Chain A
C-alpha cells in the first residue's frame, strides 16, 4: 500500500481507467449473454399487457416513436391471428397508468388500469372499477374532451382515468389522421 501511494497522480488515473475498462468489458459480456432473454421478456410483457384489452393477440407493431404524444408511454398496432381490421392500444398516464384499446376506426373498445404510483393495482379489479372504466367503451377518439361519471366504491381515480384516455385519444387522432379531417371539415 505504501509503495502504491508513492506513485504519481497519473498512476492513480491509469488504475481507475483500467478498472473502469474491466467493469465495462464485464458488463458488455454479460449484456451479450442476457440481451436475447431481456428482449424476449420485454416482448412477452407487452403481449400480456395488450391481452388485457384485446383477445387473440399474435403480435404487435410499436408505433410509439412515430405517433406517441406527450404523456404516452407506448402506442401499438395490434396484430391478431385471424387478420381483420387494424386495432390499436395506447399505454398512458403518469402516477396511475392505463391501457386503452381502440378499433381501427378510432372507437374505444376497453380501458384497464395497470398501476398506481408504480405499484401493481389490486385496485382496478373491483366491480366498481370495471363499471367506471366501462363508461369509456364506444367513445370515439375524435370526441371533444371525454367525460365520465364517478362510481362509488371505485379504487381507480376517475380524473386520472379521464386524463389518460384523453391523452390516448390525442395519440390515436394523430395516428389515424383524424385531426387533419376535423380541420378540413372546419
Chain B
C-alpha cells in the first residue's frame, strides 16, 4: 500500500512519535537536552543519520539474513554517525566542541535500530527515506522542546539570551539529570494528550 507524505508526517511527528509514544532513545535524549543549541544540532544529525541508514538498509534488505540483521543495522548507523561526527568537527567546530561525547554516543541510539527493523527492512528506499525524515523530525522535536524547557527554567536563558531579566538566573534542578527526567515526563504527557484528543476528534 502506497502511503502519503501526510501519513508519514502524522505518524512520525505525533501518533507514533519515536520519543514520546514509542519511547525510543530516551537515554540519549535525557543526556543531550541540557542546551537548546546542542539539541538543535543533534536533532539535525539524527534526521540525516536516520534517513541515510534507512535508505541504505532498505536497498540491502533482500541481502541481509535474519541472523545478521542487528549487527548490520548497528554498523550502518555507526558508519553514518561517524560521518556526521567528522563533518561537524570539520565544518561546525564550535558545535563539535560543545556536543563532546553526545554525537558519537548517537551510534547506539535505539531509534536507528528500531526504524531499520520495523520499517526499512520491509519497505522501499523512497518510503524508508520519508520514514527517516519524519521519525527523525519527531525525535528532534521532543529533544528540542525538552531542551527549550530545561534551558529556560534551568538558566533563565534561550540561546544565551536572558529571558526573565538578570534577577532570575534559573532553577539549577532543571539543568541537572533529575530535571531532565521531570521535563521529559511532562513533554511525553503533553504529546500523549494531544494524540488522544486528535483520535477522539475522529
Contacts and interface: CB of A to CB of B under 8 A. Distances in A.
B68 A34 contact: no
Interface stretch (A6-14, A58-66, A104-112, A137-145): A6-14
Given A34-B90, A41-B90, A26 B83 contact: yes
A92 B67 CA distance: 48
Interface in A21-56: 22-24, 26-27, 30-31, 33-35, 37-38, 41, 44-45
B78 A23 contact: yes
Given A15-B68, A15-B72, A41-B93, A27 B63 contact: no
Nearest to A119: B34
B86 A16 contact: no
A12 B89 contact: no
B100 interface: yes
A30 B83 contact: yes
A4 B60 contact: no
Contacts of B63: 4, 15
B91 interface: yes
Interface in A115-130: 118
A20 B75 contact: yes
Contact of A27 (B64, B67, B72, B79): B79
A16 B71 contact: yes
Nearest to A44: B93
B68 A16 contact: yes
Contacts, number: 76
A25 B200 CA distance: 50
Contacts of B64: 4, 15, 19
Query: Contact residue range for chain A?
Result: 20 to 34
Interface in B61-99: 61-68, 71-72, 75-76, 78-80, 82-83, 86-87, 89-91, 93, 96-97
B65 A15 contact: yes
Contacts of B60: 19
Interface residues of B, number: 29
Contacts of A12: 65, 67-68
Given A30-B86, A41-B93, A45-B97, A23 B68 contact: no
A20 B76 CA distance: 8
Given A1-B61, A4-B65, A7-B65, A38 B75 contact: no
A5 interface: yes
A16 B69 CA distance: 8
A43 to B, nearest CB: 11
A52 B67 CA distance: 55
A1 B66 CA distance: 8
Contact of B75 (A23, A30, A31): A23
23 contacts: A1-B61, A1-B62, A3-B62, A4-B66, A5-B66, A5-B67, A13-B68, A15-B63, A15-B65, A16-B71, A16-B75, A19-B72, A22-B79, A23-B76, A23-B78, A23-B79, A26-B80, A30-B82, A34-B90, A37-B89, A38-B90, A44-B93, A118-B100
Interface of A: 1, 3-5, 7, 9, 11-13, 15-16, 19-20, 22-24, 26-27, 30-31, 33-35, 37-38, 41, 44-45, 118
Interface of B: 60-68, 71-72, 75-76, 78-80, 82-83, 86-87, 89-91, 93, 96-97, 100, 121-122
Given A37-B89, A45-B93, 4 more contacts: A1-B62, A19-B64, A41-B90, A41-B93
